[in-house]
Homo-oligomer: A and B are copies of this chain.
Amino acid sequence: MKKVVIESVAMNGGAGDYSYAKNSSLQRSDGFEAVKSLIHEAIMEKLDIKHLCNGNSIRITDLGCSAGPNTFIAVESIVEAIEQKHHSEGLKLPLPEFHVYFNDTVSNDFNTLFNSLPLERRYFAAGVPGSFHTRLFPEKSIDLVCSLSALQWLSKVPEDIANIGRIHYSNAPSEVMEAYKGQFSKDMERFLDARAKEVVHGGLMVFSFPCIRDGQPYSRFLVGVFFSLLGSALMDMVKMGKVDQTKVDSFNMPFYAASPKEVQALVERNGHFTIERMETQDSPILQGKGAIQVYSKHSRAASEGLIRQHFGHDDEIIDELFDLFSNKLSESFSILEESSMNFMFVLLKRKQD
């Protein structure tokens, strides 16, 4: 059975029961296998390996890499595929050494990331702190970019939205939805502008992130359902006098699931990349009652950081909130089973200027 992939910008650190490190096993499931095979195909079909072999090194970056057990999977798939392509083409030029840049925001736990770097790696590793919505590297210094389950995270919550009693645009008025859409557009523009400067001509970028299909309603989008239930749990806490209503009204999850059409339009407007491949994949939903516990733990690992930042670090409140959320997941099980979770795979190539 296929499983759903959930990831987040603000992973729980450390190695506790609710840490991201202990609750990201889903990402090593078939969802990741599918992305790995898409990355492999992309490199086999689209990478100019002869050109790469003329340089002193092959420079790869993983944008929004986090610090869990899956941090190294994408990069290792890329290195493996390039080695295989080099071997299969029987080139006389030796393959240059790999330089890999692991990027995430400055709040990412880079100490954990560095301590978990594979000892037997075939690349030189560096960590790059900063938002991928800004410049991170010098001009023309990157050959390959990958970013898995990261581009759905907005650089910030859209400003000036009145989203009373909710924490996301799911089931919200259309103005809220439009504000999120606008923020995603701005973020992607900045992202593509920065990468257009940094990536060498002919360089590749591979992305995978949660999306909706063109025309699909948000009310049955799995992550949207999670956020609706978490918002509803917060409102229950308000009714119990444990959380302030204004706190809920001013909190929104900076998560946006774009459609392929939106992404295509943004790439075309930027103008520096050709779309070599763009497809959506269905990740069938977990079935059976065991799914609730998995969803509950994963949602907590992915959202607790942002919740604490806004609502404070009272462990009792946080535990109660996620208990309520788990109950709501159980009550809404039939809705979850009918929901869907899609991922968009995008392969872009940097044009000649």
Contacts and interface: CB of A to CB of B under 8 A. Distances in A.
Interface of A: 56-57, 96-99, 101, 106, 109-111, 114-115, 117, 124-130, 135-141
A126 B127 contact: yes
Contacts of A139: 56-57, 96-97
How many copies of this chain are found per oligomer? 2
A166 to B, nearest CB: 33
A110 to B, nearest CB: 5
A99 to B, nearest CB: 5
A56 B138 contact: yes
B129 A128 contact: no
Contact of A101 (B109, B126, B129, B140): B126
A136 B124 contact: yes
A129 B137 CA distance: 18
A127 B124 contact: no
B128 A126 contact: yes
Contacts of A96: 138-139
Contacts of A124: 128, 135-138
Contacts of A98: 138
A83 B136 CA distance: 20
B117 A129 contact: yes
Nearest to A99: B138
A127 B111 CA distance: 10
A109 B150 CA distance: 25
B106 A115 contact: yes
Contacts of A97: 138-139
Contact of A127 (B109, B129, B135): B129
Contacts of A117: 106, 129
B99 A141 contact: yes
Nearest to A135: B124
A57 B140 CA distance: 8
A114 B106 contact: yes
Contacts of A114: 106, 110, 127, 129
